[in-house]
Copies of this chain bind each other. A is one copy, B any other.
Amino acid sequence: MEDTRRLEGLSDGVFAIVITLLILEVRVIRVPLGETFERDLIAALIDQGPSYLAFLASFATVGIMWMNSRRLFNLIARADNTLLILNLLLLLAVTVFPFPTALVAEHIGHPGERVAAVLYSGMGVVLAVFFNALWRYAAWKNRLLREDADPVLVRTISSSYIFGPLVYLITVALAFVNVPASLLVTIALAIVFALPSDNFLVRLFH
């Protein structure tokens, strides 16, 4: 039973690298060099519009996952071997996340968009399941929580996290029917999970 200092250090490192590498994808592949005329440069930059949107969406999602990680570990005081492994699984999903994001950004509006959207929403399910596993393991009978952890806040997180995997499963189903609708719901969910645990939408579920 030891503290969570290095676990949080490793996590912050991984989040920092993932969030910084996102822009590299946009830049390395498509920086418009050697355009001869000013108008050509502007056109080249505008052409990259969809990449910028994919970048912003990814940045928001990774940022939100970091905020969730921080929120949970503000309540978790101790780490045992199982928690380390559950957190590594979560980091695994975090490092993989830009992969389906890039697939969506590349294929939206093209033949492969349904495959991409299913993988992207499926990743949402995986992330929600891993966040649930981490939190439920730590919070079960206050196993690893701080002694002064607010019991109302703990219960609020526990009950709001139930809906995560379920709602993401719906977005997977939606992806088979309507890709843009599925992506919009996925983004809306990310925003809901970023808001404080006692926000209006979470209260609505109670």
Contact = CB atoms under 8 A, between A and B. Distances in A.
A183 B37 CA distance: 20
Q: How many copies does the complex hold?
A: 4
Interface string A6-17: 111110111111
A12 to B, nearest CB: 4
Contacts of A35: 107, 111-112
Interface string A110-148: 011011100100000000000000000000000000000
A23 B91 contact: no
Interface residues of A, number: 63
Contacts of A26: 99
A99 B22 CA distance: 12
Contact of A10 (B12, B33, B74, B112): B12
Interface of A: 2, 6-10, 12-24, 26-27, 31, 33-38, 40-42, 45, 56, 59, 63, 66-67, 70, 73-74, 81, 84-85, 88, 91-92, 95-96, 98-99, 102-103, 106-107, 111-112, 114-116, 119, 194-196
